[in-house]
Amino acid sequence: MQGNRFIRTALCAALLAAGAAQAGNLTIESWRTDDKALWEDVLIPAFNKKYPDVKVKFVPTAPTEYDSSLQTRLTGGTAGDLITCRPFDKSLDLFKKGYLESLNGKPGMQNFPDSAKVAWETDDGKTSFCMPMGAVMHGFLYNKKIFQELGVQPPKTIDEFHKVLEAAKKAGKVPMALGTADQWEANQIVFTSVGAPYWKGEEGRKALIAGKARFTDPQFVAVWDEMSKWGPYLAKGYSAQTYADTQNLFASGKAAVVAVGSWDISYYNQNAKFEYGAFPPPVPKAGDKCYISDHPDIGMGVNPKSKNKDDAYKFLTWLGSQEFADLYTNKVTGFYSLSNHLISVKDPVAKQMLDWRKSCASTIRLNAQIMNRGEPNMENELWNVNSQVLNGKMTPKDAATRIQTGFAKWYKPQQK
């Protein structure tokens, strides 16, 4: 009898261990290792004020390993209850494989406009599978002290932008902090941001998807043409300069301007000992409409194999609330709630960037939707091509031809 009791006890313990996500326990999967303290000290305690009996654990994985290790855990049935979602194809792929629940009609989803849901819905727009959490914006930060010394204002047009860079160069400053060693910034922070006013944001992006525009059209070539002029304004040896080097350079006070994503604000708040402001991508000519890359970056979905779906949906409902939107926007500086809730942004530079939505049209990163699905992979190609243009190793025309040829290889609407 003793032996049987021991076996039963061991079996119960094994079953409990296997159902690590027991009722009352939730685990959040995420790549945002930087946010661990925020979740543990601010967000989860705020949720627990409403639901004290639900124990939530935030278990992040390094960003570079997140996609593959999450896939392994989902396949093996050991993934957490709540899945932090990357935008567009990565999460769409998880949904198609049955690893994310449909969120249609779920409480909280009504607080988000259609434009916020686009990054986490099926191509036909009929099914949502992640609740939108935050967006990032792209533009430029500038050193107020240097601008004052030079007697210049934040530029509104490309001509004014060049005059500012020229003035900084003549004064012996580094006009712009930007490097190409890591490549991704050349696309995600520069090309898809600076280019938006040229291809008119959503109009140009949707025309490429519909096969009604080509990368070899003037509105796209003009962006590479502009980027090809930047070399003389970057720091010596910029082709070996990493993203971290760029952050250090601007934070040191030696550079007049830096191309950024809004997430950079928290780094500069900690490391820059001077006042800085922000300006949106300059428009090609005076009077042109302003466009910004206002990109949905992070969402959250429910694992269909969660042992505790009721609590997972309680958490998701809270994620759609005014309280969460306010906490997230103000505690994760540079990430903006995608909800309809009115948020008062406390950080002055983050507020300055958010206010661009009032005067500029928002678009998402050019190639984020559909265009990365084939081979050659457009995201990788754009990293490479944009870096080469900035390095003076590829002409704007050749850049356009390479991206267009790669796109037309696999995408039918571009083969007409």
Q: Are 54 and 23 in contact (CB under 8 A)?
A: no
2-134+295-341 and 136-294+364-414 share one CATH topology?
yes
Mean pLDDT of 45-53: 97
Per-residue model confidence as pLDDT tens digits over 128-183: 999 999 999 999 999 999 999 999 999 999 999 999 999 999 999 999 999 999 99
Q: Which residues pair with 278 in a beta bridge?
A: 141
Confidence of residue 9 (pLDDT cuts 50, 70, 90): very low
138 membership: H or E segment, kind and range: strand 131-143
Residue 5 in this model has a pLDDT that exceeds 60: no
Structure tokens at 40: 């543990």
Kindly state the percentage of the chain with pLDDT values over 90.
91
C-alpha to C-alpha distance for 50 and 30, rounded to whole angstroms? 23
| Among 1, 106, 165, CA closest to 319 | 106
313 membership: H or E segment, kind and range: helix 309-319
Q: Where are the beta strands (DSSP E) in 147-304?
A: 174-177, 255-261, 276-279, 291-302
Q: What is the bridge-based pairing of β-strands 55-60 and 361-363?
A: unpaired
Residue 12 in this model has a pLDDT that exceeds 60: no
C-alpha to C-alpha distance for 300 and 109, rounded to whole angstroms? 11
Residue 21 in this model has a pLDDT that exceeds 90: no
C-alpha to C-alpha distance for 141 and 160, rounded to whole angstroms? 15
C-alpha to C-alpha distance for 149 and 146, rounded to whole angstroms? 5
Per-residue model confidence as pLDDT tens digits over 312-361: 999 999 999 999 999 999 998 999 999 999 999 999 999 999 999 999 99
pLDDT at 377: 96
Mean pLDDT of 49-71: 96
CA 254 to centroid of chain Cα atoms:
27
Phi and psi based region of residue 200 (left: phi greater than 0; alpha: psi -120 to 50; beta: remaining) = left
- What is the number of other CB atoms lying within 10 angstroms of the CB of residue 319? 22
Q: What is the bridge-based pairing of β-strands 82-85 and 25-30?
A: parallel
Exposed/middle/buried for 349, CB within 10 Å: 0-12, 13-18, 19+? buried
Q: Helix/strand/coil (H, E, C) string of 181-208?
A: CCCHHHHHHHHHHHCHHHHCCHHHHHHH
Residue 16 in this model has a pLDDT that exceeds 80: no
C-alpha to C-alpha distance for 333 and 350, rounded to whole angstroms? 7
Residues in contact with 175: Cβ distance below 8 Å, sequence separation at least 6, in sequence order:
164, 165, 166, 168, 169, 233, 234, 255, 256, 257
Phi and psi based region of residue 264 (left: phi greater than 0; alpha: psi -120 to 50; beta: remaining) = alpha
Q: Does 60 sit behind a cis peptide bond, omega within 30 degrees of 0 on the bond before it?
A: no
**pTM score:** 0.88
Exposed/middle/buried for 160, CB within 10 Å: 0-12, 13-18, 19+? middle
pLDDT at 24: 83
Residues in contact with 93: Cβ distance below 8 Å, sequence separation at least 6, in sequence order:
none
Q: Which residues pair with 174 in a beta bridge?
A: 255
CATH topology of domain 136-294+364-414: D-Maltodextrin-Binding Protein; domain 2 (3.40.190)
Sign of the alpha-carbon dihedral angle for 184, 189, 194, 200: positive
Q: Are 278 and 139 in contact (CB under 8 A)?
A: yes
pLDDT at 201: 96
Residue 11 in this model has a pLDDT that exceeds 80: no
Phi and psi based region of residue 286 (left: phi greater than 0; alpha: psi -120 to 50; beta: remaining) = beta
pLDDT at 18: 39
Q: Which residues pair with 292 in a beta bridge?
A: 362
pLDDT at 23: 53
Mean pLDDT of 247-269: 97
Residue 17 in this model has a pLDDT that exceeds 70: no
Per-residue model confidence as pLDDT tens digits over 229-252: 999 999 999 999 999 999 999 999
Per-residue model confidence as pLDDT tens digits over 277-299: 999 999 999 999 999 999 999 99
139 membership: H or E segment, kind and range: strand 131-143
Q: What is the domain partition of the chain in residue ranges?
A: 2-134+295-341, 136-294+364-414
Identify the CATH number of the domain defined by range 2-134+295-341.
Answer: 3.40.190.10
